[in-house]
Amino acid sequence: MAIYLPATAEEQQIALDELTPKEIVAELDKYVVGQNAAKRAVAIALRNRMRRQKLTPELAEEIMPKNIIMIGPTGVGKTEIARRLAKLADSPFLKVEASKFTEVGYVGRDVESMIRDLIEIAIDMVREEKLEEVEDKAELNAEERLVDLLLPGSRAAESAASAAGTAGFIEGQTEPQSRTREKLRQQLREGKLDERIVELEVREKSMPAFEIISNQGVEEMDINMKDMLPNLFGQRTKKRKMKVSEAFEYLIQEEEQRLIDMDQVQRTAVERAENAGIIFLDEIDKIAGRESGHGPDVSREGVQRDILPIVEGTTVNTRYGMVRTDHILFIAAGAFHVSKPSDLIPELQGRFPIRVELQSLTMEDFVRILTEPKLSLVKQSTALLETEGLKLEFTEEALSEIARFAFRVNEGTENIGARRLHTILERVLDEISFTAPEMKGKDVKVDGDYVRKMLADIVKDNDLSRYIL
């Protein structure tokens, strides 16, 4: 189980529309061990999305995504597969627990909030892309404004000289200022002026003192208060003294916001969420089951019925306008220990035509998880301790022992899949991590005997094992 990190330059270079299902599975193999059936299902779903983009608009409109249910115990890679797929496709991705929702009329989150959250994620994605596009321009503009602050009047003099053409006396007056301005610019780029204090006009971010009383969370309110009350939010400015280095960062941010067309960002984000969004609906087994008529389960079928139109395709009202859900890909997941997919209401079952079962992890899988993924647990631990100047090495026997202990504890207590490896590995490295600063420059080899020494006493005591491992 790998930690989720931003895509590298190498990953971003991959031409998405050229990826075949086999290549998509190969990419997922870099982060998730095994579970080929689930990888094949999501690879086909992603490839179908690419195929749909090449169809005529009339036909593309009719082709709906084939939503997927992943069935398997916790910690076997369900979430990681969906998350990595979204990263590979550069799609807005939202993971949400179905058990957090309540039927309309009950206190809690309503199902439409997942679409609003997805749109916010898409807005952030597109905004980041636009920020990268205007980054250089924003820095140049910020630099010009900062030079103006450091040398008041120079810009006005330059403008006058430009308007006067070749008038000698104006050129003579502005030439020294122009040279001074260029000298200041050079010093600014070299960081020689970072500690100088300048006075900058900044926007106040103070919020007015009033309360909003609602039975919904603020994130679910469709009304944008900033649009309704523009004079109360962020319109006033005040003068503030700060170092040149701080002022430069502030001005860059201000210029970036000025250069970005937020209306275009919102339109692009809504379109991307509608056509490329992926929602991972976890713990769907927790809402499976029919009405009991009383108690805490009374709204479970109601939640299913509320989710149904979202998955089938409807329009949801958001602060950015109406958003269609017809072509959003839904990947549901659950352990289904107590319930089964057939316990879902028939209509919802029909909207998840693809079912894949993920297998419980074996001892061999644990060994592979420790070493094979691109960002494996062993690589992470080794890299962390290298920052202390300590070189850590695991023998094959040590990895086998860690996997064996993780497998045994999962069998004897609650099976939490690969997540058990995190706990076991931290316990094994406890002493080394604690004393690492005093072991700078040393090479440390973790072998099977060391692993057994660190874990044997705890594993022998079942009660202690339940608490610690």
Q: Which residues are annotated as a binding site?
A: 33, 75-80, 282, 347, 419
Q: How far apart are CA 369 and CA 363, in angstroms?
A: 10
The token duo for 103 is 């039927």
Q: How far apart are CA 34 and CA 326, in angstroms?
A: 31
CB 67 within 8 A of CB 330: yes
CB 354 within 8 A of CB 68: yes
* Closest-CA residue to 148 (of 175, 177, 170): 177
CB 111 within 8 A of CB 321: no
List the helix and strand counts (H, then E) for the chain: 20, 11
CB 119 within 8 A of CB 316: no
CB 45 within 8 A of CB 26: no
Annotated binding site for ATP: 33, 75-80, 282, 347, 419
Q: Decide: residue 208, CB within 10 A, 0-12 exposed, 13-18 middle, 19+ buried.
A: exposed
CB 385 within 8 A of CB 426: no
CB 32 within 8 A of CB 39: yes
Q: Which residues pair with 324 in a beta bridge?
A: 315
**What letter represents residue 300's amino acid?**
R
The token duo for 235 is 């319109």
CB 440 within 8 A of CB 385: no
Contacts of 82 (CB under 8 A, 6+ apart): 42, 70, 93, 95, 278, 280, 331, 333
Place of tokens 């892309």: 129
Q: Decide: residue 308, CB within 10 A, 0-12 exposed, 13-18 middle, 19+ buried.
A: middle
- What count of Cα atoms within 13 Å lies in the side-chain half-sphere of residue 110? 18
